[in-house]
Chains A and B, each alone.
Chain A
């Protein structure tokens, strides 16, 4: 009896212990859960954080999806069409296979040496004056009051990540070609990264310096971003206004010097004179540029000092604002902050008004009534993600392009069917006396393109 009792008792004890254990564990689990929910458990995080992580993971997939789908969409459409030789099909080809990097890696710069754009030159004005005197065939003024200008723009040598990006770069450069042909301006389209230290928005600095020094015949260098388009083909920049200045940017004095606003000026479209002052300015501008720690730390300083600037690495525009604020005495008197016309025009406030402009005004004004430049800041059509909706950006870029293109096409008697349409229609019939036709805007043989008539004839 006792044995059986003992055995049975033992069993029951075990069972009891087991049940106790179960309950204890259950309660412990509940407690941990509750505590985690309210206090968090360090690196294990709270359920909310867990959920955020899960959401981000899916969200990340969501953001990467469209790009991947864009690529897939192209390949699937071509796969369905019959092709006996897959090698000839552009749809299935991976463009990243083209580029081959040979001849070793970039030379590593000496971390102890402070960054410099190049050897210091102190007598550039004299060097240049002498060269111009020795080379009368390459004057720096092609007509009275008309300096020789080089428009500089550029993009990456690799295909855009966004499949539609290259098409908009192409339209943008055609737009610039048209304006520059009418205004006798030369173009340099850069696709080379001259200095790996100054990559990204800073890449223009070494390029500008190199071009100024290699082309002494250039009087003004006009930098223009690839996402900026000319929308007033008839407007000629008022060069005489800047005869005492060396650096012209679109901006407002109050916003820079009083408000210290980081968008008080815009470095997407500016004019820089080819002179010693500009070389010194570039040297003063560049220290915040070298990528890595210098640029990140500089970014923090700029965010702290400038109004409204978000937190990110130093960019050339904020650095210029900071330079002007802190060294106004040194640079301020030769910097012209232009706002009488849109040397840079923020697209957001301009693109919806094009039809109104066509109705009420005419090209040649350059200002809010008919902007010289419409600059698509933030759209980033070449990259994967911009700051604005893709549809709005691309559609508006088409409209701006057509708005400018209409002024070119009307020279030849055509116009786009609408600002959204790629198709053109005739607005003037052909005649057998084509030379008597005058285009409305006088852009066919504009005065700013006229060659100096030799004195003896």
Chain B
């Protein structure tokens, strides 16, 4: 018995290496004390073996992986955190409007509300200056091929939108305008600069329009268009001959304007301005409600009090124009309130009918059957909140964009798979005589309206 236990101990000790094994002669007489001692020794041996094996295991693992790298997992976490913080910082920096303050720059003069704001030095003889310039520069005429030279002006804030989807729709919107303007020979200016700190926001178009008019005397008409307005009739051309006697064309309704004095009687999201003295004077008369701060707030109160349905907020350019035209009626002689086609088309009543339009009508009409412009007022995709549900706004903008894009792609034999689909499908097979197709489908070859040149003989 004792021998067997002895040999067993000896064996276990031998397997673990050269371990001293205590050999004790067991006798039954001092069993309890003896067995206790044996137990302790057994436990001790087991423990030794365990420690030895553990040591060997670590040795082996160290040889293959390395203890240092085991601690490296924690480093990866830290690196991860750093990268996230870095990216957040870059994004926040790009989004913010902050500029590092340059101490060498003179401090901007404080705006004095007592001094009447002006857009620039008063010019009284612009028509004459312009006429002389045009005579001296025949290579920059204001009528090209019988058509008046138009400059389309649009823009957006210089910083990224609050959400990336806003920038994406700005991109689609400018592509839409590029397409229309390429087909109709119109130049585009896309403004990303705040030219005048006082007239920021919706008022920013005033100093911009004035600046462009004065710099480009060869331009006959300046067409301001909001960034949230899309062309939906690629064939329709402005009937400029209708406006020979007018200097400003804006979409609006005379009854809403003069009878109801509604604040949405006209829309300044898409309008035409002739390059002449009258327009400069109108801009000067329009601007005083614009300077931000107490002037704009006070003006806002006046406008809310005088215009029907206007909510209470600071003065905006549209309400100010309505108020100006109502209170100083002489301006209306030269303002044309257009509503026979959608120079501005409020989106909500139009976007659901695109499929119906494609079925029943054709491009070139410009009115409620096939709107010229679909204007997404109130959607504000560049900001954080709009006046309408986001999904409805964005889906409608996508539909309007594709509706217009189909008209452009028609020449190339494609159209979108659906008004919500970015993918296109072929509607016409390729041919070896593509010029027949060009003759048939190129919009430029089939103009709808012609603007007349009053100077032409």
Contact for B421 among A54, A87, A102, CB less than 8 A: A102
Q: In this assembly, does A422 line the interface, its C-beta being within 8 Å of a C-beta of chain B?
A: yes
Q: In this assembly, does B109 line the interface, its C-beta being within 8 Å of a C-beta of chain A?
A: no
Residue contact B140 to A394, C-beta cutoff 8 Å:
no
Min CB distance B5 to A, Å, is 6
Residue contact A170 to B438, C-beta cutoff 8 Å:
no
Min CB distance B191 to A, Å, is 9
Give Cα distance in the complex from A186 to B185, angstroms.
9
Among B56, B159, B179, B384, the one with the most A-chain Cβ atoms within 10 Å of its Cβ is B384
Q: In this assembly, does A110 line the interface, its C-beta being within 8 Å of a C-beta of chain B?
A: no
Residue contact B80 to A61, C-beta cutoff 8 Å:
yes
Please, which residue of chain B has its CB at the minimum distance from the CB of A434?
Answer: B214
Q: In this assembly, does B215 line the interface, its C-beta being within 8 Å of a C-beta of chain A?
A: yes
Please, which residue of chain B has its CB at the minimum distance from the CB of A63?
Answer: B83
Please, which residue of chain B has its CB at the minimum distance from the CB of A156?
Answer: B422
Give Cα distance in the complex from A91 to B382, angstroms.
11
Give Cα distance in the complex from A411 to B193, angstroms.
13
13 residue pairs bridging A and B, Cβ less than 8 Å apart: A20-B11, A30-B60, A37-B63, A167-B167, A173-B171, A188-B178, A213-B438, A390-B90, A394-B94, A422-B97, A422-B158, A423-B194, A431-B121
Residue contact A214 to B411, C-beta cutoff 8 Å:
yes
Please, which residue of chain B has its CB at the minimum distance from the CB of A90?
Answer: B163
Give Cα distance in the complex from A158 to B144, angstroms.
38
Residue contact A69 to B420, C-beta cutoff 8 Å:
no
Residue contact B430 to A118, C-beta cutoff 8 Å:
yes
Residue contact B421 to A100, C-beta cutoff 8 Å:
yes
Q: Interface size for chain A: under 10, 10 to 19, 20 to 34, or 35 or more residues?
A: 35 or more
Contact for B385 among A15, A83, A98, A119, CB less than 8 A: A83
Residue contact B1 to A8, C-beta cutoff 8 Å:
yes
Contact for B384 among A89, A391, A417, CB less than 8 A: A89
Q: In this assembly, does A444 line the interface, its C-beta being within 8 Å of a C-beta of chain B?
A: yes
Q: In this assembly, does B84 line the interface, its C-beta being within 8 Å of a C-beta of chain A?
A: yes
Contact for B211 among A33, A87, A97, A412, CB less than 8 A: A412
Instruction: In the A-B complex, list the 3 residue pairs whose CB atoms are closest, starting with the nearest.
Output: A102-B418, A37-B64, A157-B422
A 118-139 to B, binary, CB cutoff 8 A, 1 in contact else 0: 1111000001100100010110
Chain B residue numbers with a CB within 8 Å of A216 are 435, 438
Residue contact A169 to B171, C-beta cutoff 8 Å:
yes
Residue contact B77 to A16, C-beta cutoff 8 Å:
no
Give Cα distance in the complex from A341 to B261, angstroms.
60
Residue contact B164 to A422, C-beta cutoff 8 Å:
no
Min CB distance A420 to B, Å, is 8
Given A120-B432, A164-B94, A58:B421 Cβ within 8 A:
no
Residue contact A192 to B414, C-beta cutoff 8 Å:
yes
Residue contact A46 to B417, C-beta cutoff 8 Å:
no
Q: In this assembly, does B394 line the interface, its C-beta being within 8 Å of a C-beta of chain A?
A: yes
Q: In this assembly, does A332 line the interface, its C-beta being within 8 Å of a C-beta of chain B?
A: no
Give Cα distance in the complex from A449 to B120, angstroms.
28
Give Cα distance in the complex from A38 to B63, angstroms.
9
Give Cα distance in the complex from A188 to B69, angstroms.
54
Contact for B417 among A103, A127, A445, CB less than 8 A: A103
